[in-house]
Structure 1
């Protein structure tokens, strides 16, 4: 596969990629320990914020990471025939207390589809559903175009 060109996406194109998807990978870190999970999200292009509903159980690794206010990275990517795009957003994940919810928050969480990765062995009363927001410190997008004309045979 011949790499023709890799370029940065503009903010507008980055927002377009994030707006047309609803799933990605959330990576959390504390000290030297990483944690990554597939997530569903809503994205506000005006505020450049992510909204997530994260479900955990009382003793879960996810809940332990979320309790530590970890640094977070969201990765979203897409692939077409000869084009690959990826976006990486980095910031601190913040829980939004249910008492602080506004109509705007509720609309954004409505965009964050019901978690698509919701498979639980525990009964629903044992699950905690937390509402989170990530206002990234940085958002970067890349596009790679593959030049298949000049591939070796």
Structure 2
């Protein structure tokens, strides 16, 4: 029977994990209703912040959740053979106004490779593109290794 060895990541390992990936899952909650979507992000290890470019239509469920300033959770994970690693951040998701952009933050948004506009059924003029910064209040990571018994 396989057993699991679980190790908490150090802050440097968490930063490395978030820096080498560009996609994860953004989960929002409002009035006991969950909403989770795949996202692309840029990560600034010095600020320990994720930068997201979110695309939606004006009447979408995503837009409704974002308008309610919900508590957010971002999960970034990977699996490699018998090793599984995940990082979870919890905190507020802040909309960034265009007049607040700096050259440094613009570079972070440039790291967000998705969404690809071609995947949207709606015309491009009907899409809202908003920039968000996620600076988690807690940011933790774990690595799990499955150790299989020799038979």
- TM-score category of the 2 structures, normalised to the smaller one: over 0.9
Contact 1:87 1:140 in 2 (8 A): yes
2:142 match: 142
Q: How does 1:17-32 map to 2 (within 5 A)?
A: 17-32=17-32
Q: CA deviation at 1:3?
A: 2.1
C-alpha distance in 2, partners of 1:64/1:94? 15
Q: TM (normalized to structure 1)?
A: 0.94
Q: CA deviation at 1:7?
A: 1.3
2:114 match: 114
Contact 2:25 2:39 in 1 (8 A): yes
Q: CA deviation at 1:29?
A: 0.6
Q: How does 1:1-20 map to 2 (within 5 A)?
A: 2-20=2-20
Task: Mark the runs of 5 or more structure 1 residues left unpaired by the alignment.
Answer: none
Q: CA deviation at 1:117?
A: 8.3
C-alpha distance in 2, partners of 1:3/1:73? 28
Q: Which runs of 4+ in 1 moved over 4 A?
A: none
1:78 match: 78
1:68 match: 68
Task: Mark the runs of 5 or more structure 2 residues left unpaired by the alignment.
Answer: none
Q: TM (normalized to structure 2)?
A: 0.95
C-alpha distance in 1, partners of 2:117/2:82? 29
C-alpha distance in 2, partners of 1:73/1:52? 13
Q: How does 1:115-134 map to 2 (within 5 A)?
A: 115-116=115-116, 119-134=119-134
